[in-house]
Structure 1
Amino acid sequence: MAIDPVVVGTTLPTTTLTLDSGRLKFFAKAIGETNPVFSDDDAARAAGHPAIPVPPTFLFAVEMEQPDPFAWLLPLGVDLRFALHGEQRFTYYTPAHAGDVVTATPRISDVYSKKGGALEFIVKDTTITRADDVLIAELTSVIVVRTPGAGQ
């Protein structure tokens, strides 16, 4: 089933999250980050940060705080058995730190297909802002949906 391009521009539910120091440290460890500014409060302050900074790629996890973070795909007719994460990109503007309250505001920015409709792509752009409305980052993720029987 082709994804209707009318969904381009659709704003999805926002997610607000207080960045927890312990969670940031755990994430840094999980991705193999060895720079102590991401795991040691004193090292972070010595480096000029007010608290532990957000490790690279952590902001992608903000939207995962939704009770069902992939529910937005269901109204598009996406069968989650055939969906996979295809790509993600980050543009950072200013650091976020433990204790910051951030809000993720996602929007569907594009849909397209390849291989005669066998693969459909949904592009979602998300802005991450701090509670004081400062833009922290812009994220782009691409979901790839395989359409069984199409393009064969």
Structure 2
Amino acid sequence: MIGTELSPTRLVVDAGRLRFFAKSIGETNPIFTDLNAAQAAGYPTLPVPPTFLLAIELDRPDPFDWVSDLGIDLRHVLHGEQRFAYRSQAYAGDELIAKPKIADVYTKKGGALEFVVKDTSVVRPDGEIVADLKSVLVVRHPEVQQ
């Protein structure tokens, strides 16, 4: 699995979606929901809230098809970790491309737990990096005796 490149996902960031996302996570800073507040703070338009970039890959018709394609039973999957390393600010109207790949796979507890590390580079069409994301899925293998 390590090194497997997964299908990229493209998304044009919609201002209405940013507002909805900000409200759904309880973000109260008006720069994420009000264009005038964003511009008064020096932004050209609504900036993308910090954790929104995770939502790009969830925009696919089947956002977890890659898990099934790797032969992992979704009934035994837990979200273990999420990290973001930002390189540039994204805004409403930007086209962003999420390019994921499997970076590592390791086990613990004698194979009862398997960890799948996925690195995703979020870039603009010209290749400029917006952020690097890392997520870790924890796969339980109940058939493994400890």
SS at 1:11's partner residue?
A: coil
Measure, in 2, the Cα distance between the counterparts of 1:46 and 1:99.
Answer: 18
> What is the percent sequence identity of the aligned residues?
60
Measure, in 1, the Cα distance between the counterparts of 2:127 and 2:106.
Answer: 32
Aligned residues: 146
Alignment of 1:17-96 (within 5 A): 17-96=11-90
Shift of 1:66: 1.2
SS at 2:50's partner residue?
A: coil
Measure, in 2, the Cα distance between the counterparts of 1:46 and 1:151.
Answer: 59
Which sections of structure 1, spanning at least 5 residues, go unmatched?
1-6
Shift of 1:29: 0.8
Residue identity in the other structure for 2:47: P
Between 1:100-109 and 1:47-56, the stretch displaced more is 47-56
Residue identity in the other structure for 1:144: V
CA deviation profile, 1:100-152 (whole Å, cap 9, x unmatched) = 00000001000000001110000000000112321100000001000012132
* TM-score, scaled relative to structure 1: 0.93
- Select 1:123's aligned residue among 114, 117, 141: 117
Residue identity in the other structure for 1:136: V
CA deviation profile, 1:47-92 (whole Å, cap 9, x unmatched) = 1111100011000000011111111112322100001111100000
Which sections of structure 2, spanning at least 5 residues, go unmatched?
none
Residue identity in the other structure for 1:140: K
Aligned-residue Cα RMSD (Å) equals: 0.8
